[in-house]
């Protein structure tokens, strides 16, 4: 019998303050709904990161948590071995930043070395980016899909030549206000939107699974679940568009303080 497909949420207690654990739940559910045996593993610092996972997830968190996560992941080595084996990594916000070459922390913008998995660099931006974000993601077949989420980050990220943007911003800040959002390099995807992201964006969830499994998944067998998810998605996109004015009023909290 095949081993269950392992979805690994990495360091929930450090990088889990924005509910990004939900990304792991969604990936696991979407496999199980299709009759594919799947297991959700949450690994905490001090425990070995399994290197036989299919998809790894990093979430958002505070500066100090980012420093600890980098230190632990480098010492552990399991995530690097898994990626060498062909696993997929989806990293959100603080998780995205630590995947880069470097990022800054604290009031004095101390520069910290990242995991070096993405050719990106993060430095404190002029204003904190907070609010609904709507982006357009180009899928591997050339079609595009909207991504909705909520961004909340002080760091601004710029891409080097080895990384390409994950999506184009329609509403919000994204990487650094240059119209791009997130980064892709091989099987590592970094992106700012929380939400959590994958319940709102099932096409992206399936893309991660298809990358990891090397096979097309097709639609969910249960049409009622698909219809509910479509409706949630329709509502989130409408809210993002509707709240554009409100979001622009509140996005630049720094200016009002
Ligand atoms: N500390 C990082 C920043 O503010 C990440 C924040 C987060 O994960 N939401 O840029």
Q: Report the C-alpha dihedral over residues 69, 71, 77, 78, rounded to 10 degrees.
A: -20
User: Ligand 1 center to residue 128 CA distance, Å?
Assistant: 9
Give the mean pLDDT of 210-225: 94
DSSP string, 159-204: E-TT-EEEEEEEES-TTTSSSEEEEEETTEEEE--BS-HHHH-HHH
What confidence tier does 248 reach under pLDDT thresholds 50, 70, 90?
A: low
Q: Which of 97, 121, 172 to mutate to test the pocket of ligand 1 (most atoms within 8 A of CB)?
A: 97
Centroid of ligand 1 to alpha carbon of 152 (angstroms): 6
Q: Mind listing the pLDDT tens digit for each residue in 93-146?
A: 999 999 999 999 998 999 999 999 999 999 999 999 999 999 999 988 899 999
Buried b / exposed e across 121-142, counting CB within 10 Å, b at 16+? bbebbeebbbbbbbbebeeeee
Q: What is the pLDDT of residues 34-83, one digit of tens each?
A: 999 999 999 999 999 999 999 999 999 999 999 999 999 999 999 999 99
131 close to 149: Cβ distance less than 8 angstroms: no
Q: Find out whether 221 and 46 touch, Cβ atoms under 8 Å.
A: no
- State the average pLDDT over residues 15-41: 96
Half-sphere exposure (CA, 13 Å, Cβ side) for 16? Answer: 16
Whole-angstrom distance, CA of residue 68 vs CA of residue 28: 27
Q: Write the DSSP symbol of residue 49.
A: P
Give yes or no for residue 155 CB within 6 A of ligand 1. Answer: yes
Average pLDDT over residues 174-180: 97
Between residues 160 and 232, the one the model is more confident about: 160
CA–CA dist 154, 218 (Å, integer): 38
What are the structural domains of the chain? 5-256 (3.40.50.880)
Q: How confident is the model at residue 246 (pLDDT cuts 50, 70, 90)?
A: low
Phi, psi of 67 (to 5 degrees): -65, -45
Helix and strand element counts for the chain (H, E): 9, 11
Which listed residue (99, 153, 176, 194) is catalytic? Answer: 194
CA distance 248 to 91: 26
Say whether pLDDT at 251 is over 80.
Answer: no
pLDDT of residue 243: 75
**Mean of the per-residue pLDDT values for the chain?**
93
Task: Band the pLDDT of 244: cuts 50, 70, 90.
Answer: low
| Higher local confidence (pLDDT), 98 or 254 | 98
Predicted TM-score (pTM) of the model is 0.94
Question: How many whole angstroms separate alpha carbon 74 and alpha carbon 78?
Answer: 9
Atom of ligand 1 nearest to the CA of 18: 9
Residue 257 — pLDDT band, cuts 50, 70, 90? very low
Q: Determine the residue of 60, 67, 98, 129 to mutate for testing ligand 1's pocket, defined as the one with the most ligand atoms within 8 A of the Cβ atom.
A: 60
């Amino acid at each position: 019998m095949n081993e269950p497909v392992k979805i690994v949420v990495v360091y929930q207690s450090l990088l889990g303050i924005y509910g990004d654990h939900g990304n792991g739940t969604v990936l696991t559910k979407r496999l199980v709904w299709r009759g594919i045996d799947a297991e959700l593993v949450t690994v905490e610092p001090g425990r070995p990161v399994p290197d036989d996972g299919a998809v790894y997830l990093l979430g958002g968190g505070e500066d100090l948590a980012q420093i600890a996560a980098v230190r632990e992941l480098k010492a552990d080595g399991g995530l690097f071995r898994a990626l060498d084996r062909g696993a997929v990594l989806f990293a959100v916000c603080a998780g995205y930043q630590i995947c880069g070459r470097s990022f800054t922390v604290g009031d004095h913008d101390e520069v910290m070395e990242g995991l070096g998995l993405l050719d990106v660099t993060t430095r404190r931006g002029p204003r904190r980016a907070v609010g609904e974000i709507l982006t357009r993601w180009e899928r591997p077949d050339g079609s595009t899909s909207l991504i909705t989420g909520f961004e909340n980050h002080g760091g601004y990220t710029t891409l080097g030549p080895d990384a390409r943007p994950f999506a184009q911003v329609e509403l919000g800040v994204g990487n650094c206000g240059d119209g791009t959002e997130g980064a892709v390099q091989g099987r590592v995807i970094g992106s700012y939107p929380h939400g959590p992201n994958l319940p709102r964006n099932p096409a992206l969830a399936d893309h991660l699974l298809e990358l990891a499994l090397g096979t097309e998944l097709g639609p969910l067998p249960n049409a009622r679940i698909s219809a509910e998810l479509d409706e949630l998605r329709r509502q989130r996109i409408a809210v993002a568009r509707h709240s554009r004015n409100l979001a622009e009023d509140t996005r630049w909290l720094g200016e009002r303080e």
